[in-house]
Copies of this chain bind each other. A is one copy, B any other.
């Protein structure tokens, strides 16, 4: 499935390596596909596009309705209600099957839309969101208000607006438009939905397992939704990194030293050990002075060199876009680690693992001072994984490091745990179909070998399912995981609004439905 260096050269890689002609990611498109242009320009598709435009108000209202239903997995808030909503949506769409799937954690959802078509796709939705601190938001995270937000004419502000409840509903809106005019979708869809994605999808394998035999029959795993960034630019990822997420706690009771049951007056520090200092020491032993090189024995051992195709994609990214790839992050980032130029940073973002502290806490953290020696201290950490790192193996190495350095009493709890790394070749028909839609719109994407973030995609792309996977589409949203998360409803000359977003979803479904395998 992977493109070879020779093929890359044939497709334009040579031009990239030369000095005068810029390569294009469209060179990764196998061949001109005139028939796709014919389909996308056909009156049938135009009619569906018009239908979407005519039903814009209704489509917005449906998105708002979903966003006003909270579904914060880390607070276990509204998850069941949201799962029921998803089920009802699938039923309304005309799915033959639509049901909640019990797991050891929060419920998932399964649905099956049978168009009687030759081709079947697997489509994933996550319906939980990150938590939020309402006080910090300019518009309440559950209000789903429409507001003006420069440089966009109108956005919808809500937790889940872009990650992923807004896009989920936009996908269903597009499907409903097709069915309203065509009677059915151009392909069959197996929907599988996770309510614990923000927890690292700890039980999503239990959602998929009962349907493995049926999911195997899919031709591809396809996502369609807003993929433009703030500038209208599209980053297309052919996979993602894995993530290991753990919480460590140092407690006096477990340690057998320091305060055993509760904080003690800080004057006792002169004669009493501190679990906080101990956690600081344990953490400090894990990384170098700069906090970037991981000093845990064997942590890098499982990593294999990038494939030729990955190297080609990254080379193309660097040659063609350079600094622009990180443009949207410049307000929050001054310099990359090691003062890497963006070109170097892209390479490391793709090909390096990492160890991050997501949160740390102990004792009194309010205003002013309180004089206590805390009985415990804790930290949340995540590590992003690349081929061939395996979550449980990396966690085992952290445990071994702690034990080896005398910290065997420090407890470690695995949080999440379903998201291994994933990758699909650029040559897979499903990728080619999405690329052809971008070409139709004249928007050249940047193709990344993988996203730096994580998703449960590996559960589709790696054994036992082994599906090629891709996602794409026009439209934009931002501030996922942060305050004032938004979805663009009316964009600008570069960024598509909701109507065009839903239209591009229609295009992608038809392009892949008609793509020869």
Contact = CB atoms under 8 A, between A and B. Distances in A.
Given A329-B264, A357-B362, A74 B369 contact: yes
Contacts of A375: 332
A287 B291 contact: no
A287 B270 CA distance: 13
A352 B277 contact: no
Q: Copies of this chain, how many?
A: 2
Contact of A345 (B263, B271, B384): B271
A289 interface: yes
Interface in A57-99: 73-75
A341 to B, nearest CB: 11
A103 B380 CA distance: 42
Interface string A258-275: 011111111111111110
Interface residues of A, number: 93
Given A271-B340, A332-B260, A352-B271, A74 B367 contact: yes
B131 A366 contact: yes
A370 B273 CA distance: 30
A290 interface: yes
Given A359-B374, A368-B73, A453 B265 contact: yes
A245 B369 contact: yes
B270 A333 contact: no
Contacts of A377: 357, 360
Given A267-B454, A369-B198, A257 B334 contact: yes
A500 to B, nearest CB: 26
Contacts of A454: 267, 371
Given A267-B384, A276-B357, A365-B361, A333 B260 contact: yes
A345 B285 CA distance: 29
B74 A198 contact: no
Interface string A313-347: 00000000000000001011111110010000100
18 contacts: A74-B369, A75-B366, A75-B368, A130-B370, A260-B332, A263-B482, A264-B329, A267-B349, A270-B452, A271-B352, A272-B333, A278-B291, A332-B375, A359-B363, A360-B361, A363-B380, A365-B380, A369-B382
